Structure 1
Amino acid sequence: MTTKARTAARLAAAGAVALLLAACGDDPAPIALPTVTSNPSMASPVATATTVPVPTPVPSPVARVTDPSPDGAIAAAVYFSELYGYAVSTGDLAAWRDVSDPECSYCKVVAEDVEAGGDYRFEGGQTRVLEASLVGVNSAQDHLVHLIIEQDAWTSTGVDGSSKSGERTSINADALLHHNGSQWIVLEYDAVNSAA
């Protein structure tokens, strides 16, 4: 192996280690990783910095999301709301589908949009629940939870170069949930954007 090849391999390995270590932290800021460019007039490669976004971590459900109490319903509604940003930025719908009722129209639309958006790179759009409260419980023991959510600015870029974007937004949402005996399931979700 030549000196150039060994240097390139070491820089690539250092970049991979940095990316793995960054995924373990809480800081969502992008990390500058070295890339190698060659210049025919130089004997060794030159390292330049490239910004690589940190992978979006899957939200962790708190233990209460399986609790059949009103607090469990609120925790499940918060968890579901946080899954939105994760699902659209990663394309991973496993957790989203796990807590969505098959008849939930909002849940289906989001899943269809994520699946159809495979040719897009989505950045930003993470959600944070600022407030959550139980509105009421009906005779079927369905729980209605009201949430106030903040969503970060986002950009969606297609492989053809087209792009869409949205600014930071406040969202008022209502989640209707039912406990199926083992966990809360979202029966329906209604979200209305307002200016942030």
Structure 2
Amino acid sequence: MLMACAVLVGVVVGCSPTEPVVESPSPVVSEEPSPTPVPTPTPTGPVKPERPADMDRTDEVGAAAAATYFLELYPYVKGTGDLEEWNALSFPEECEFCVNLAKSATDLRSTGQTFVGGEVEAEVSRAYEFDTLYGAYPLDVAVRQAELQILANDGNVVSAEPETSTTLRVVVIHDGTAWRLMDVGEASAS
């Protein structure tokens, strides 16, 4: 009996009587390409400020937290046109500032313009005694607003303002349920 030994492409097939033994090829596994991960969208535009926990208080501390929050909400409202919280917290019967901001944000959206920048940092610099006549807290708030631009649909700058700093008189009232913005204006020198 004749024996033949064969080596095929680096694999010893073995010795067998006259007929070579052929191994069946390894199955070829086709790997599906792994899907390309979809990038997570990054938020664009202004970010809504976090509501301070101190707004749950009904005293001077709560009034101060409410006043700064309202002012820090300003660029978010202008940039997004989201008026839900602004309208819920403002006192439109008394607050001309509140009404003007809501109208301005709506007008920007209807014309397709975009508000960019204008982030606000606010800090109460002086709290006045509780006003018993109106049931409100008047506060002076130091405000720094970053530079801002209003852009047209095509990206051209419609208007721009540099960074500004000022002190505003903010009047807030607690209506038994929540803080409401009653008035915002220039602080008088005292």
Among candidates 74, 88, 105, match of residue 114 of structure 1: 105
Contact 1:173-1:190 at 8 Å conserved across structures: yes
What's the RMSD between the two structures over aligned residues? Answer: 2.1
**Map 1:27-42 → 2, pairs under 5 A:** none
Partner of 1:90: 80
**Map 1:97-176 → 2, pairs under 5 A:** 97-103=87-93, 104-118=95-109, 119-140=112-133, 141-159=135-153, 161=156, 163-176=158-171
Misfit runs of 4+, over 6 Å = none
Contact 2:147-2:160 at 8 Å conserved across structures: yes
Q: Deviations over 1:171-194 (max 9, x none)?
A: 2111111111111111111147xx
Q: Deviations over 1:85-138 (max 9, x none)?
A: 111111111121121002111100010011011121111001001444312321
Contact 2:150-2:160 at 8 Å conserved across structures: yes
Quick one: which amino acid aligns to residue 132 of structure 2?
A: S
Partner of 2:63: 73
Quick one: which amino acid aligns to residue 164 of structure 2?
A: T
Report the Cα distance in structure 1 between the residues aligned to 2:91 and 2:119, rounded to whole angstroms: 23
Contact 2:92-2:99 at 8 Å conserved across structures: yes
- Higher helix residue share: 1
Partner of 2:15: none
**Percentage identity across paired residues of the two chains:** 23
Quick one: which amino acid aligns to residue 115 of structure 1?
A: T
> Where does structure 2 lack aligned partners over 5 or more consecutive residues?
1-32
Contact 1:66-1:182 at 8 Å conserved across structures: no
Quick one: which amino acid aligns to residue 99 of structure 2?
A: K
Report the Cα distance in structure 1 between the residues aligned to 2:151 and 2:175, rounded to whole angstroms: 39
Report the Cα distance in structure 1 between the residues aligned to 2:74 and 2:180, rounded to whole angstroms: 15
The 1:87/1:169 distance shift into structure 2, 3 A limit, reads same
Query: TM-score by structure 2 length?
Result: 0.71
Quick one: which amino acid aligns to residue 78 of structure 1?
A: T
> Where does structure 1 lack aligned partners over 5 or more consecutive residues?
1-5, 24-53
Report the Cα distance in structure 2 between the residues aligned to 1:172 and 1:165, rounded to whole angstroms: 21
Report the Cα distance in structure 2 between the residues aligned to 1:113 and 1:158, rounded to whole angstroms: 15
Which of 1 and 2 has greater Rg? 2
Q: Deviations over 1:130-167 (max 9, x none)?
A: 44431232123211011001000011111264510000
The 1:162/1:151 distance shift into structure 2, 3 A limit, reads closer
Contact 1:130-1:150 at 8 Å conserved across structures: no
Contact 1:65-1:75 at 8 Å conserved across structures: yes
Contact 1:83-1:95 at 8 Å conserved across structures: no
Query: TM-score by structure 1 length?
Result: 0.69
Partner of 1:40: none
The 1:94/1:136 distance shift into structure 2, 3 A limit, reads same
Three-state SS of the structure 2 residue aligned to 1:138 is coil
